[in-house]
Amino acid sequence: MYHSDISLTSDAEAGPAGQLALKRLFDIVVSALLLLLLSPLLALIALAVWLTSGRPILYRWPVVGLGGRPFTGYKFRTMVRDADRLKAQLLAHNEMRGPVFKMTNDPRVTPIGRVLRKFSLDELPQLWSVLKGDMSLVGPRPPLQSEWVHFEDWQRRKLSVKPGITCLWQVSGRNEIRDFDDWVRMDLQYIDHWSFWLDLEILLRTIPAVLFGRGAR
């Protein structure tokens, strides 16, 4: 089983309620600042997607949030327009054991999409979901609504907290994990030992992972 080298601790200087309030305040401030500061980059990416593969520029992402509540997130589109329909033809190439689909060198990904995915630039529109409150900067990745219905009861506990843009799985060699059960155990490890300071540690580890394109597909 894969394990993280992040030091987890359940000790906290503030009570859980105080830390949760701090987490939400941090989410609002950071997501708003990043959306403002990165607006030129967001515009350039949108233009690049439009010029190379047309519309839509954004992919409407039908996922599940806190407590199993469905919501629509957004990513820059990195695949061909009929990617969801073509997915059924690729299920035999799924590299993950469990209800989720992962495939190295997915043929549906566009050339510009590969660049965006390598540096996680396609994820930037999720900052809007963080600002709205559907997501957090740090938390278990939200599953697709089509995947959620196949989760076992114990796996559903991964969404007893708000989903996030980055998480333990994201910064701990995600491409080395081939069993969805191991992925969920990492999410539960995060939940059981959560603190605001752990979130900060994961965010700090996310920066070099993104800059160097580590673990991206």
Q: In sequence order, what are the residues at sequence separation of 6 or more whose Cβ sits closer than 8 angstroms to the Cβ of residue 118?
A: 213, 216
In a domain, 50, yes or no: yes
- Residue 161, SS3 per DSSP: coil
pLDDT of residue 1: 43
In a domain, 216, yes or no: no
Domain ranges, residue 50? 16-211
In a domain, 11, yes or no: no
The total number of structural domains in the chain stands at 1
Q: In sequence order, what are the residues at sequence separation of 6 or more whose Cβ sits closer than 8 angstroms to the Cβ of residue 177?
A: 2, 169, 183, 186
Q: Helices 16-37 and 196-211 meet at what angle, rounded to 10?
A: 30
In a domain, 84, yes or no: yes
pLDDT digits (tens, 9 = 90+) for 39-76: 999 999 999 999 999 999 999 999 999 999 999 999 99
Q: Which amino acid is at 140?
A: P
- Residue 194, SS3 per DSSP: coil
pLDDT of residue 13: 39
Whether the CB-CB separation of 104 and 90 falls below 8 Å is answered with no
In a domain, 165, yes or no: yes
In a domain, 2, yes or no: no
In a domain, 83, yes or no: yes
Whether the CB-CB separation of 142 and 65 falls below 8 Å is answered with yes
For the chain, state the CA radius of gyration. 17
Mean pLDDT, 10 residues at a time, over the chain (217 residues)? 45 61 96 97 97 94 94 95 86 86 89 93 96 96 93 93 90 74 92 92 89 63
pLDDT of residue 14: 39
In a domain, 8, yes or no: no
